[in-house]
Amino acid sequence: MSDLFKLSIVVPCYNEEEVLPETTKELSQIVNGLIESRKISADSKIVYVDDGSKDKTWAMINNFSKEIDIVSGVKLSRNFGHQGALLAGVTSASKDSDAVITIDADLQDDVNAIPKMVDEYLNGAEVVYGVRNNRDTDTAFKRNTAEMFYKFMGFLGVHLVPDSADYRLMSQRACQVLLSYRERNLFLRGIVPLVGFKSAKVYYARKERFAGESKYPLRKMIKFAMDGITSFSIVPIKMIMGLGFFIVLVSLVLLIYSFIQKINGNVVDGWSSLMISIWALGGVQLISISVIGEYVGKIFSEVKQRPRFTIERDIYTEKTQKENKR
């Protein structure tokens, strides 16, 4: 039996028919190169996860799996979202893989960082983060908002790896610990650092998307950020309490001020100040209720204990079972 370790590269896909041929070509070159250099075993795999695509993505994955031995796939029964697809791929691949790498299909994350991740794993790291060395490909708005997000998460006490997305290597042991976290509101960038174990970083330059459209427009990015904040910290609720106490304090000061002005006979009817106060307090109340509602909504989805994903077909497991029978 080979003493080389088995590597699986998990690639979540949603309507990626335009980029999939090039992704398969580049990842196959990397995997075959690692096999030839005897860094990974010959039964290592590329595992595409079709997240309910509406185009020809699954048909292409199915064909690639028949034509290329190292390619396999997992088909989800519907769209469960990027994080759910990642977790489905890790769940399937980590059963018999010594290490799993997750990477998006759009080729923005440099595949040439994979051999460096493998080297770090061979040197003893169980979690290897792919970290961008710059954000030159981002717009100024996205660059600044990303920096603000990481700083705010740090302020809330959530320890993220800055400029690291879902491009990472995890050992089988680290994967099993990750899968033991059962929450439905997935924010893997926050969960993975909680796993622990020895970690390392590999830096790379992020590229432009090879083809197709981004699956994370501004609306989804905002939702993703909100999920990260409300899934890992109750500081926002505490901030609301602090804001409430502050408003009460301001009200007491204004009350005392009003009495003083009344005694001095300087009372002036002020419609503007009254309306501003009403609108300001109304806005604070609506924001407060919304933030609390976000937490209540997450509790609602967690207590139902619905599956985080449903696998319709698992070519990866089918291939593995056939190989084990030989």
Domain boundaries, the chain: 7-232+311-325, 235-303
Give pLDDT < 70 ranges for the chain.
1-2, 135-147, 149-158, 185, 208-238, 241-242, 244-245, 248-249, 251-252, 254-255, 257-259, 261-276, 278-280, 282-283, 286, 297-298, 300-307, 309, 321-326
The per-residue pLDDT for 258 is 64
Q: Quick: pLDDT tens for 204-238.
A: 887 765 555 555 555 656 666 666 555 656 666 66
The per-residue pLDDT for 101 is 93
DSSP state of 302: H
Single out the residue of 115, 291, 85 nearest to residue 188, CA to CA. 85
Q: Quick: pLDDT tens for 312-326.
A: 777 877 777 666 666
CB 103 within 8 A of CB 24: no
Determine how many CB atoms are found less than 10 A away from the CB of residue 158.
20
**DSSP-derived 3-state class of residue 101:** strand
The per-residue pLDDT for 3 is 74
CATH number listed for the domain at residues 7-232+311-325: 3.90.550.10
- The answer, as to whether pTM is greater than 0.75, is no
Distances (CA, A) of 224 to 186, 218, 265: 9, 10, 55
Can you tell me the distance from the alpha carbon of 2 to that of 6, in angstroms, rounded to the nearest whole number?
10
Give strand ranges (E) for 135-182. 164-171
The per-residue pLDDT for 220 is 57
The per-residue pLDDT for 285 is 75
Token pair, residue 188, equals 């893997």
